[in-house]
């Protein structure tokens, strides 16, 4: 986590713009049109919304986009069926984002690592509460290891320089 934090601070790009961002943009926070499941009709879970760089929403979505070839520890944080046959890759997701928004994404690895880092921090704070007895929900027991998997995934992305 320290390595990822230092890398993010050193590599921070200039803002791509400013917009209202959801800040937890992922598949299980969207509603789809039942007649046309390629059309988003709603977006749920707005409590982390803020004003910021719209590419941060892209980074968040990428952090949840697990691919079939990703390492097993990273697979353990998968919440969506992105490993199923027919799903696009993270790279293809970025290309569609570029096409549909017209926004340049010059450094997608930065936003991916940002998303992984942010998600690892969230999991760490939930695990901390569990480990110190502030919550008893057993679903939180594996979150410490999940945060480590996210951190390793971030370090691997830094090393290879791509998502």
* CATH value at residue 7: 3.90.1200.10
Answer yes or no: is 52 within a domain: yes
β-bridge partners, 42: 31
Q: How many domains does the chain have?
A: 1
Going from the C-alpha of 24 to that of each of 10, 12, 61, 108, the distances in angstroms are 24, 20, 7, 17
Q: Which of 48, 157, 59 is nearest to 115 (CA)?
A: 59
Answer yes or no: is 73 within a domain: yes
Answer yes or no: is 81 within a domain: yes
Answer yes or no: is 105 within a domain: yes
Residue 27 near residue 88, CB atoms below 8 Å? no
Task: With a cut of 80, say whether residue 118 has pLDDT above it.
Answer: yes
This prediction has a pTM of 0.92
Convert the pLDDT of each residue in 3-37 to its tens digit: 999 999 999 999 999 999 999 999 999 999 999 99
Q: What is the average pLDDT across 107-129?
A: 96
Alpha-carbon gap, residue 60 to 114, rounded angstroms: 8
Task: State which residues form the domain around 57.
Answer: 2-118+150-160
Answer yes or no: is 144 within a domain: no
């Amino acid at each position: 986590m320290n390595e990822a934090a230092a890398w993010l601070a050193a590599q921070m790009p200039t803002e791509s713009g400013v917009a209202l961002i959801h800040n937890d943009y992922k598949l299980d926070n969207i509603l789809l049109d039942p007649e046309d499941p390629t059309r988003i009709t709603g977006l749920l879970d707005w409590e982390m919304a803020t004003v910021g760089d719209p590419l941060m929403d892209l980074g968040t979505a990428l952090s949840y986009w697990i691919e079939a070839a990703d390492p097993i520890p990273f697979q353990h944080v998968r919440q969506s069926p992105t490993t199923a046959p027919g799903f696009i890759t993270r790279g293809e997701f970025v290309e569609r984002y570029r096409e549909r928004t017209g926004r340049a994404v010059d450094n997608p690895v930065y936003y991916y690592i940002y998303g992984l880092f942010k998600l690892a921090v969230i999991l760490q704070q939930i695990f901390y509460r569990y480990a110190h007895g502030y919550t008893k929900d057993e679903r939180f027991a594996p979150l410490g290891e999940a945060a480590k998997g996210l951190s390793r995934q971030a370090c691997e992305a830094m090393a290879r320089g791509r998502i």
